[in-house]
């Protein structure tokens, strides 16, 4: 379907998979299993003891295979001939449901081709409350609504292609520093309205599995926390799949079992010791510490998830060497390109118009000189940046670097290219001399804490560009009056020094484009595609403006609901580039807002379905807005809907509750529809322990960003 048709504010369709039928099959299989079989289904075989990062034993009597659990959120980690899809943060920057869903589907097709049963993603935790957080780039940006939609689209895309999704990391793992010892101490309302929110979407999309995180939550390990696992996930959200530990995140035998854990991964610690389940679990069941019914429930959930996605039906055998790339790189090119955000374009220096000479500067312009996959799990920042580092990576099959892609394009137009593939300010002048424009490439990187890169132990130490990026830009701006800065980054970078240079005319926020880095950039630089990405986080003027940074000890989440734009709005802090911001080569006008619906106040009362009470998912209001392409070229606009709750609700001034993307020819107009669900107007009532729609006047703002509001209306809730 063309983008324009899909691009409404409507929510993803109901999944077609059927838990009841899957559970029935699981019950029939369960009846055939010995106690030993059952324990083997719930316990990994141990670290480094099988073909995948996680493995359980095959059970012949029910034709259950050796289960392969493999990272991760960008495709098959350690695959020999796979694609490295763009990270979640880039997919989110597209705000394009269809592309996000297709990305999930294609990743799953590759996983299935390799015989991987469970692909360990997508990621909704971290949410990204700490801009320096090392793994924020694995997820979908600093807003629970955006994360939630992207989680649901990804999971449905994956599972419809026959692969079990794994929503991780559950819950409140917002930093790398001390992630395996710290406690995230968080109030019930904050948990519900921010951090649990995207997991509700994941459960509603029928996620097969959830991974509990390394940290403690309010003093109890996430993987043995009965409130987080049994109460919130299984009872309140009606989760029917299984909970697996993060790798070696388990700390007990009986407590984890009774709290709601269903699978121990990888089954041992990283030295082969500390086996909490296996025969220890068998004993705990015989001694009555863990009820037999609980063990049966674990097995039922794991088998049901396997049946749910049809893996009992001639699934490929495990082969991480299979060539499964197909034509999936089209999705990588599209998400890399449409996730690029144009931040500044003074005097319309972009798009480039058949320049006679371009000067390219920076080590990030070229392929990593040591080789595209030379660093374990991409744990280095050498050459062009495609993604962060850690378990959430996949090897690149090839890498299109900016200089190569620009050179290829330049040849077709007779443009001369000069290049300084170094961050050394000394060589700048001669390279940019006589060029129509100077393009400078700078980066910022982060990743998982088991690797330290240039002194950054997972989390970033600062929000400045790496490798002296500010100085490099200053040197280029001193030598040329027409400078374009291209930033490849895992998250926000403070751009004030760069913006202080009057010769910096354009900033292209190119994000994390994976293997299609250069090709995607050329699409935008030359205007083959009009930029349409929007920021999935705020870029502040100062790192202090976020009000959060990695905690040394426990984190009390004192900022509560006020993270990212929610805080900037409340405190009246002017961001440099606000959440949802992005320029285009064309212009869009917004008109004719129409708000329809008569939602009623009060608590949700429906039955529990996957995702929580059924009525929370019902559409209770619709907002339509007409968008017109009033500029000169074809382009796509991401329109965003923000809700301001009645003051009595005590919520942030506005919260994202809808978005849609429309592709429009110049002069064309179309209507965008935002469907608002009951949950979108609800707050978590801690006394009632229910979602409640407050009565009063709700402010509806529709705009091009969280601060560029073009149309406003109200919704009265009696």
CB closer to ligand BGC, 211 vs 303: 211
CB closer to ligand BGC, 140 vs 247: 247
641 binds ligand BGC (CB under 6 A): no
215 binds ligand BGC (CB under 6 A): no
Q: Which two tokens stand for residue 604?
A: 């949700």
Contacts of 48 (CB under 8 A, 6+ apart): 266, 272
577 binds ligand BGC (CB under 6 A): no
CA gap 471, 233 in Å, rounded:
48
Residues 374-393 that bind ligand BGC (CB under 6 A): 391
Phi then psi dihedrals of residue 662, to 5 deg:
-120, 135
174 binds ligand BGC (CB under 6 A): no
CB closer to ligand BGC, 59 vs 119: 119
Which H, E and C letters describe 231-242, residue by residue?
HHHHHHCCCCCE
168 binds ligand BGC (CB under 6 A): yes
- The answer to whether 682 touches 659, Cβ cutoff 8 Å, is no
Nearest approach in angstroms of CB 549 to ligand BGC is 21
Among 29, 33, 120, 261, binds ligand BGC (CB under 6 A): 120
Q: Which residue is associated with the tokens 């290049």?
A: 419
Nearest approach in angstroms of CB 248 to ligand BGC is 8
Q: Which two tokens stand for residue 488?
A: 């490849």
User: Binding string, 591-630, against ligand BGC, x = CB under 6 A?
Assistant: ----------------------------------------
CB closer to ligand BGC, 266 vs 513: 266
Q: Which two tokens stand for residue 522?
A: 């050329």
246 flagged as catalytic: yes
List alpha helices for 561-624, DSSP H: 565-571
Contacts of 675 (CB under 8 A, 6+ apart): 8, 9, 10, 11, 619, 621, 622, 658
Residues forming beta bridges with residue 344, ordered by sequence position: 507
The size of the interface with ligand BGC (CB under 6 A), counted in residues, is: 8
53 binds ligand BGC (CB under 6 A): yes
Among 71, 404, 516, 523, binds ligand BGC (CB under 6 A): 71
CA gap 285, 479 in Å, rounded:
74
Residues 226-255 that bind ligand BGC (CB under 6 A): 246-247
- The answer to whether 345 touches 583, Cβ cutoff 8 Å, is yes
72 binds ligand BGC (CB under 6 A): yes
Nearest approach in angstroms of CB 66 to ligand BGC is 17
- The answer to whether 396 touches 372, Cβ cutoff 8 Å, is yes
User: Binding string, 462-501, against ligand BGC, x = CB under 6 A?
Assistant: ----------------------------------------
Nearest approach in angstroms of CB 53 to ligand BGC is 4
Query: What are the Cα distances from residue 3, in Å, to 98, 100, 101, 635, 679?
Result: 7, 12, 12, 11, 27
What DSSP character marks residue 425?
Answer: G
- The answer to whether 561 touches 186, Cβ cutoff 8 Å, is no
Nearest approach in angstroms of CB 558 to ligand BGC is 25
Question: Would the CA dihedral through 285, 290, 292, 296 be positive or negative?
Answer: negative
- Helix, strand, or coil (residue 295): helix
CB closer to ligand BGC, 12 vs 391: 391
Nearest approach in angstroms of CB 393 to ligand BGC is 10
- Through-space distance between the first and last CA atoms of the chain, rounded to whole angstroms: 39
Residues 250-279 that bind ligand BGC (CB under 6 A): none
CB closer to ligand BGC, 391 vs 655: 391
CA gap 324, 326 in Å, rounded:
6
CB closer to ligand BGC, 71 vs 670: 71
Q: Identify the active-site residue in 71, 143, 201, 246.
A: 246
Q: Rule CB under 6 A: which residues touch ligand BGC? A: 53, 71-72, 120, 168, 246-247, 391
Catalytic residues: 246
């Amino acid at each position: 379907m063309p983008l324009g048709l899909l691009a409404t504010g409507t929510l993803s369709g109901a999944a077609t998979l059927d838990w009841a039928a899957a559970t029935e099959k699981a019950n029939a299989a369960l009846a055939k299993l010995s106690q030993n079989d059952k324990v083997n289904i719930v316990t990994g075989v141990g670290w480094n003891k099988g073909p995948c990062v996680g493995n359980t034993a095959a059970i012949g009597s029910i034709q259950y295979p050796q289960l392969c659990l493999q990272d991760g959120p960008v495709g098959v980690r350690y695959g020999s001939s796979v694609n490295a899809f763009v990270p979640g943060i880039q997919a989110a920057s597209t705000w394009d449901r269809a592309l996000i869903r297709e990305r999930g589907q294609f990743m799953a097709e590759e996983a299935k081709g390799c015989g991987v049963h469970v692909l360990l993603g997508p990621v909704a935790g971290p949410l990204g409350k700490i801009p320096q957080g090392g793994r924020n780039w694995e997820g979908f940006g600093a807003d629970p609504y955006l994360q939630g939609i992207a989680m649901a689209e990804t999971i449905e895309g994956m599972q419809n292609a026959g692969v079990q999704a794994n929503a991780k990391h559950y819950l409140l793992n917002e930093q790398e520093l001390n992630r395996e010892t710290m406690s995230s101490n968080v109030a019930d309302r904050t948990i519900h309205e921010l951090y649990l929110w995207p997991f509700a979407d994941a459960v509603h999309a029928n996620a097969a599995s959830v991974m509990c995180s390394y940290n403690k939550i309010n003093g109890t390990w996430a993987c043995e926390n009965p409130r987080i696992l049994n109460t919130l996930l299984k009872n309140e959200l009606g989760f029917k799949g299984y909970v697996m530990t993060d790798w070696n995140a388990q700390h007990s035998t009986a407590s984890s079992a009774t709290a709601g854990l269903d699978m121990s991964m990888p089954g041992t610690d990283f030295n082969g010791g500390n086996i909490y389940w296996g025969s220890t679990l068998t004993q705990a069941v015989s001694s009555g510490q863990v009820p037999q019914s609980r063990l049966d429930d674990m097995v039922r959930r794991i088998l049901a998830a396997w049946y749910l996605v049809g893996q009992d039906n001639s699934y490929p055998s495990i082969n991480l060497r299979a060539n499964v790339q197909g034509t999936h790189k089209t999705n990588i090119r599209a998400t890399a390109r449409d996730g690029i955000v144009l931040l500044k374009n003074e005097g319309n220096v972009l798009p480039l118009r058949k320049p006679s000479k371009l000067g390219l500067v920076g080590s990030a312009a070229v392929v990593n000189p040591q080789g595209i996959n030379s660093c374990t799990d991409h744990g280095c920042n050498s050459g062009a940046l495609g993604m962060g580092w850690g378990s959430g990576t996949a090897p690149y099959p090839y890498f299109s670097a900016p200089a190569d892609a620009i050179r290829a394009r330049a040849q077709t137009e007779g443009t001369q290219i000069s290049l300084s593939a170094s961050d050394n300010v000394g060589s700048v002048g001669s390279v940019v001399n006589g060029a129509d424009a100077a393009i400078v490439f700078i980066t910022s990187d982060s990743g998982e804490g088991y690797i330290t890169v240039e002194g950054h132990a997972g989390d970033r130490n600062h929000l400045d560009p790496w490798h002296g990026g500010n100085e490099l830009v200053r040197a280029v701006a001193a030598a040329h009056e027409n400078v374009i800065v291209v930033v490849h980054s895992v998250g926000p970078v403070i751009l004030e020094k760069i913006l202080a240079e009057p010769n910096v005319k354009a900033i292209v926020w190119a994000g994390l484009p994976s293997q299609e880095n250069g090709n995607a950039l050329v699409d935008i630089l030359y205007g083959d595609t009009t930029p349409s990405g929007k920021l999935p986080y705020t870029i502040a003027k100062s790192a202090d403006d976020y009000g959060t940074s990695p905690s040394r000890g426990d984190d009390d989440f004192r900022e509560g609901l006020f993270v990212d734009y929610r805080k900037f709005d409340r405190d009246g802090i002017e961001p440099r580039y606000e959440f949802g911001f992005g320029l285009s080569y064309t212009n869009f006008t917004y008109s004719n807002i129409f708000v329809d619906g008569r939602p009623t106040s009060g608590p949700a009362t429906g039955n529990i379905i996957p995702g929580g009470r059924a009525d929370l998912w019902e559409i209770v209001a619709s907002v339509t807005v007409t968008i017109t392409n009033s500029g000169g070229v074809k382009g796509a606009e991401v329109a965003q809907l923000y809700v301001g709750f009645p003051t009595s609700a005590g919520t942030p001034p506005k919260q994202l509750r809808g978005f849609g993307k429309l592709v429009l020819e110049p002069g064309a107009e179309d209507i965008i529809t935002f469907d608002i669900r009951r949950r979108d107007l609800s707050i978590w009532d801690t006394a009632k322990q229910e979602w409640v729609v407050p009565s009063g006047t709700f402010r509806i703002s529709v705009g091009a960003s969280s601060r560029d509001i073009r149309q406003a209306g109200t919704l009265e809730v009696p």
